Amino acid sequence: MEYMVLFFTHSGSIKFDRKCKRNKVACELMPVPRTLSSNCSVSARINTELDIMKLIDDEVEKVFLLEGKENKLVYESK
């Protein structure tokens, strides 16, 4: 499954990238797509079959499941 992960801070995106590498999940840091909103200008695109909730920490603002042209919100920090 392909996900777009948005962060509260740039440092949060760097920490997430390191966590993905430790879990052998390909992670590409990139600017947040204009169709999505965030307090930070960095997002991560990942493709994994792992339970996405295992990668989420307090640095993650939102997670979208990418399905074709649709972006389905699957997690939002409270």
The total of other beta-carbon atoms located within 10 Å of residue 78's CB is 2
The pTM of this model reads: 0.91
Note the pLDDT tens digit of each residue in 8-57: 999 999 999 999 999 999 999 999 887 787 556 889 999 999 999 999 99
> What would the DSSP string read from start to end of 16-27?
HHHHHHHTT--E
Domain ranges in the chain are 2-76
Q: Is 8 exposed, middle or buried (0-12, 13-18, 19+ CB in 10 A)?
A: middle
